[in-house]
Structure 1
Amino acid sequence: MDLPVMPPVKPMLAKAATKVPTAEGMLYEPKWDGFRCIVFRDGDEVELGSRNERPLTRYFPEVVAAVKAHLPARCVVDGEIVVPQGDRLHFESLLQRIHPAESRINLLAEQTPASFVAFDLLALGDESLLEVPFAERRTRLETALDGIRPPVYLTGITREPETAQRWFQTFEGAGLDGVVAKAPDLPYGPDQRLMTKVKHVRTADCVVAGFRWHKSGPIVGSLLLGLYNDAGDLQHIGVAASFPMARRAELVEELEPYRAEALDGHPWQEWANAQVQQNGENRMPGAVSRWNAKKDLSWVPLRPQLVVEIKYDQLEGRRLRHTGQFLRWRPDRDPLSCTYDQLEVPVRYDLAEVLETGERSGRP
């Protein structure tokens, strides 16, 4: 491979905002919920680079084939690998693809094929475009991808803040998780937070039914969260983490009274040494990490009597899509009142319409 921009390259990142920015000339795109991927193609040589610079190439053979069929012969394109299922994206199916067995990968490539959504052009032919303003890179990308067909897509774009706000409110129902704003004169800065992302922020009251130790020592790493379903079962929905180190030590003392005889009659007693179920829908506290099989995910049970208010962005099926953020304890809440009913469910939106916005959006 001999390209003007060579792998590995860390993708350009975004800083978070709570509102859609409205600076003059700003360009807006839907924020896709998948695996960030920089595609490097030099003829028949293709590499799919990830955010952490580890190649994704072996995990998505169908994307490699699509790149060869639809992208220019020599290019470097930034985008997102996604798995459409029905009328929305399905992130859980992406997680299933990170698997050591080639036979399993090939089977899933047929059963749940991935697509690639392009949104930036880093190089074309012998020319590096890293210093070229974003508005010009977008125009070059549209020309380079003119006539592309699924499973390769060009992301939608708009200059209208009102349209971006509508995307933010409606596209979540198709599995997207916000919008991204980019200045028209923005160069491509690898590993720099030069863009702006706006994601949904919500709160929920959850039962704390266990915790994991931090990797650095006897301090709390994360709280295991649960919600009661309609049958009265406490379902594990994710974790709350990202505490300051001093707070992690304080939590050890705060949780200590709830550790005594906690496993007796614990709703997750049978999950203590369980593995992830095949369909991935009911992730269990003691499950093996898909990203690191050696990572210790053992947990300490707590009597399910504590309630915590967390901040979260979105759901993936019946669990949190990302790590929740601890806000405060809720001693006034009955744990049995912490049900799924409190969660906001986005209105369904047809993913096909989102994917078509790239064809309808026109040049910036």
Structure 2
Amino acid sequence: MSIDRHLTLDVNSADFIVDMANVVRNDGLLTMRRADLSRLVALVNGLKQFTRDETVKIYAVCDRSVLRDGNLTADERAMLTSWFENGLIEVLRTADDRVLELRNVSSLPVISDDNFGDYHRTYPWLSGNRDAFYSPYSVDGGTISIRRRIIRVLAEREIARKEEEALLLQAGLYDRRDAGPRRDLLNRLWKCPEQDCPMFGPGHAIPTHRRGVVRCPAHELPLIDLGPRPARTQLKVKVDGDVVARFTLAVGESTTVGRAPLNNGVALARWLEGTPAIYKVSRSHVEISREAVAVVVRDLSTNGTRVRKAGRGGDIIKLRPRQARPLRHGEEVLLHDLVTLSMSGREFAFADDEVGVHDPVPPALRQATMVENRRFIPSKQPRRGKR
């Protein structure tokens, strides 16, 4: 299993970027094992044939969880640790962002079957990309070769769901390989023992789950289980394509959305300034209610409300004044051509997900900050040699 000379953390000498966990844990490659380091060895051997270059080098980025994966043998885990300690592979808590960052600055091809759904907003070039990604596949002779693949164009709802999965995975509340979201924990109400905890007081943040204990991420204290959590739905408002507000409604709750609604509704005036919508969106334009089995929208406006049905080229219907209508996933409520309201693709809704109404940072500034924070750094970790 000696492929050391083919591993590098010098992006300028690498031929490929490899999403290592995606290869090692792909039980459709060569063997039926859930994790098998020999797949990486077989991939390197296949790349020699694919490139006709016996010196081919890969920049491998690995999820930290792989180093302690119980499906690997003790020798395989020791080999991974040795590669890491000798500066031959990069190990991060999650590898996806680093893989895409490296591709973004180097234009090297990426070997991975992942669609990177939770990064389509961060890296707009992902959607429908035909040039950057290769899929590994088994070939005769016990090697793994690669073929070009197309990154699927994802619907907005799919992207939101993948973003949610990433958040839950980071919090220890998602099992990527088996059960999916930990609904047994996510559908409970939790209280922090710390008095006046802002995360688990009137609102409800995402807890963390480590080694069987649910904790407050702010105070690291075990949370108190208060019982079942009422069903909630998250909705979002877009102005000219930017999400400016997210809000959640539990069963039996309702709110109004408009230019400047009363009673703590969702106010959009500051987002509408300088757009034609400022003259067309009513002070209280629509009422949104979370009922037992549906989210219901009711028109309150003077200029009318329309609903665009789900699907490509979805039909648009106009609501009658004061008409109430159930809102389905994938449908959009049009307060104006530039202003839409829809249900989030996320299955779970948390207080700390909400932006816009409680967040004074405009979308353009948020985007600029995100770009600034993603300036390329050659390696996020120091190389370590043997002592």
The structure with the greater share of residues assigned to strand is 1
TM-score (normalised: structure 2): 0.28
- Bigger radius of gyration, 1 or 2? 2
TM-score (structure 1 length as normaliser): 0.30
Work out which structure has the larger RCO, using CA pairs closer than 8 Å and 6 or more positions apart in sequence.
Answer: 1
